[in-house]
Amino acid sequence: MTAGVLTDPELTRSAQAGNVEALGLLLARHQAGMRAVALSVLGHRPEVDDVLQDAALVALRRIGDVRDPDAVGAWLRMVVRNASRMRLRAPHDVRFGELWAPPSEEPTPEQVVDEHALRDWIWHAMDELSPQLRLAVLLRHFSGVTSYEQIAAACDVPVGTVRSRLSQARAKMAQGLLSTSALAHDDADALNAARRHEGVETLLAAERGEFAKVVAERWSPEVRLLGGQGQLGGRELVLGGMDSDLAAGVRQRLVHSVASRDLTIWEMDLIGPADDPDHCPPSVVWLLSLAGGRIERVRLFHPS
């Protein structure tokens, strides 16, 4: 496919039908106009590149919203204009979902990905990120741990490192989404469902006194439990911690799960015993790193 022989409407309809190369050609064709809009709103600021990266990802997810293919250039410039204005107005870092409808009407980023025809392609491109960058993206855009401060605490890194990782991830994903377009993609929805089911089954097994069996079957023998100062311990500490919580009457309930190839995030409600409801924090996030399909590192984080 070459940009010179296809019109904007043809490329737009092809992209809406799932042709990734067509979408890449559209973005390349209108890049100059999109940058001009960002510069007109923001001036020569470092945020210009971030806005263009965010706008490219929004376009990749929302190309199906274009009702008039003849006006796709104007639509892309509108995406950039909205993103730029949000950068100027917002005291916080803008998330992709904020570029569109009010929060009460806008689906979550996870719902957008799940409902979009290019869902698996997007997740495949995210899997091409390094584990550190991918974890930052999963937390920021697909979990309840969204603030830079929370992500920094969960990953045990400075806030500045979180900002840097997310900036790198945006740039790499915008490029990666195009470079992986011709590859076969795994079913991201099936992976997320399987990892969620695994979380539920793990908690049920713990309630039955079979947590050690699950750990033996699905976790690495060299599993490491990590804390704020690095490694806290291995398998015995993991087993002992679960046994201690259950003995104290503390239960966990899985409320959200998101996963990529070698990372899983389980967000749990913590339920204290009836006679001591404040015995524990209200929630805990399990950050799980996998190798060869087995959990090899666990970091537990209590959001504020």
- Give the chain's mean pLDDT: 81
What is the C-alpha to C-alpha distance for residues 4 and 278, in angstroms, rounded to an integer?
65
The fold of the 188-301 domain, in CATH, is: Nuclear Transport Factor 2; Chain: A, (3.10.450)
pLDDT tens per residue, range 35-45: 899 999 888 77
Burial group, residue 43, by CB count within 10 angstroms (0-12, 13-18, 19+):
exposed
pLDDT at 31: 86
CA 93, 94, 100: angle at the middle one, nearest 5? 170
Give the residue from 119, 111, 100, 106 showing the smallest Cα distance to 18. Answer: 119
* The token pair that represents 182 in the structure block: 């011709």
**Higher-pLDDT residue of 7, 113:** 7
What is the C-alpha to C-alpha distance for residues 139 and 107, in angstroms, rounded to an integer?
17
Among 109-113, 215-219, 296-300, which is the least confidently predicted range? 109-113
**pTM tops 0.75, yes or no:** no
Domain range summary for the chain, segments of one domain joined by +: 3-179, 188-301
Residues 6+ apart with CB under 8 A from 206: 214, 242, 246, 252
* The token pair that represents 170 in the structure block: 């945006």
What is the C-alpha to C-alpha distance for residues 247 and 111, in angstroms, rounded to an integer?
37
pLDDT tens per residue, range 11-35: 898 888 777 678 878 888 898 899 8
Among 71-80, 83-92, 172-181, 251-260, which is the least confidently predicted range? 172-181
Handedness of CA 210, 212, 216, 220 (dihedral sign): positive
Strand pairing report for 219-227 and 263-271: unpaired
- Give the mean model confidence (pLDDT) for residues 165-193: 69
Residue 63 DSSP class: G
Task: Please report which confidence band the pLDDT of residue 217 belongs to, taking 50, 70 and 90 as the band edges.
Answer: very high
Containing H/E element for 152? helix 148-155
pLDDT tens per residue, range 87-122: 777 555 544 444 433 334 455 554 454 455 456 666
CA 19 to chain centre: 23
Residue 145 DSSP class: -
pLDDT at 114: 45
- Give the mean model confidence (pLDDT) for residues 274-296: 90
**Higher-pLDDT residue of 279, 113:** 279
* The token pair that represents 114 in the structure block: 């799940």
pLDDT at 87: 78
**Higher-pLDDT residue of 260, 88:** 260
